[in-house]
Structure 1
């Protein structure tokens, strides 16, 4: 299919594209609204090492490595156990069920990020209750600061808080704007694929019904039939005139033949 033909197809299938966009986007919003609303608490930690015999570049790379390592360790079962058994009285009922399900929920509760070449760890906690999210954030920071040596073999490693846990005023999950935007993009690409694979009118989707289109086609057909009937009437009117001309020529021929005789 050439590009110009595809543009014509886009104009002809506008309602199909819009219908797919609306349906998919609305479904994404409805699915997002069925999920529990969660608040977020974020904090940042800095990993540093005290070493006089190491150059600055190697020290920076080492801090980055330790930051990535500790950010990954937060998702582990041993770290999760320490959070539940910490002094911050984290609600254990929120993580009820089998241990595998508890870890699955824990991995949805915590999110860690690291910034390259800095040794900075960003800790994000998501919970349906702001107070519980703050407790978990404090427990995570406390364990990383005071028990980080359990997860690495480095020496003179220090972790300090550069941003205290800060809670959001409104729920941050699910993110309706992001989910809607992603659904819109996916729906648009799918609609282009749909009309390309199924260009026939029988596969078209209509937002305002198909009656208007049919009525327009019927009007055009009726108008064409009217033109045809008018033209046919003119042709029938012209036929007698032709016959009169033929009779006149025959009379002239008869008169000429009589004179010659």
Structure 2
């Protein structure tokens, strides 16, 4: 019990040192992520999935059908076939060089990292975020993806579905990758934990 109280007192007495070490580790993590990892901006857009079945269905069933279509599209968006269709999309000046001169495996991985998607359940809305080295490039890539979804999406989900862009792409003002704030927090937490273990180890061997 004495050892526990003494250890706790030692930790409390060293809180300034723990705070400094945590801040330093957080700052180092921030700098490493900022200078060593590629900076990317994001662009967000939304597509409404409308079920247009010839047979009469209630609104609930229609929304559920749209959600199922959206779930299918989540997988389609990162496929090789959809990638090829986006690359063939005319009128959008986005940087295709980031996907060129790569092996099939690396190119697929790069494409998968260039976008993320989700479905807003209860609405039938497909949310898509694209990533690129600049805000303009992210927006251009998002435009190409949106146009491909609307013009070619029926090939993956059938003809009884209408896909409509409801929110045009809007790019972020600041980089979204790497997540600098999150990296700082994680670095600070790790630094604090290391410092605590160091104090406990030293106390144990006194």
Task: State whether residues 68 and 114 of structure 1, in contact with CA within 8 Å, keep that contact through their aligned partners in structure 2.
Answer: yes
Shift of 1:128: 1.0
Root mean square deviation of aligned Cα: 2.6
DSSP-derived class of the 1:200 partner: helix
- Among 47, 50, 66, which residue is 1:48 paired with? 50
Give the count of matched residue pairs.
201
Contact 1:42 1:122 in 2 (8 A): yes
Match status 1:146 vs 2:148 = no
Matched with 1:33 is 34
Shift of 1:156: 1.7
Do structure 1's residue 169 and structure 2's residue 173 form an aligned pair? yes
Instruction: Measure, in 1, the Cα distance between the counterparts of 2:56 and 2:193.
Output: 56
Per-residue deviation, 1:141: 0.6
Partner of 2:137: 132
The equivalent residue for 2:80 is: 77
CA separation in 2, counterparts of 1:75 and 1:50? 25
- TM-score calculated relative to the size of structure 2: 0.83
Contact 2:70-2:125 at 8 Å conserved across structures = yes
The Cα shift of 1:23 comes to 3.6
- Mark the CA change 1:66 to 1:187 in structure 2 (over 3 Å): closer, same or farther: farther
Structure showing greater relative contact order (alpha-carbon pairs closer than 8 Å, 6 or more residues apart): 2
Runs of 4+ in structure 1 displaced over 6 angstroms?
none
Please state how far the C-alpha of 1:144 moved relative to its aligned partner.
0.9
Cα 1:5–1:175 shift into 2, 3 Å: same
Query: How far apart, CA to CA, are the structure 2 residues paired with 1:136 and 1:47?
Result: 21
Whether contact under 8 Å (1:84, 1:90) holds in the other structure is: no
Q: Does 1:179 align with 2:183?
A: yes
Tell me which residue corresponds to 1:65. Answer: 68
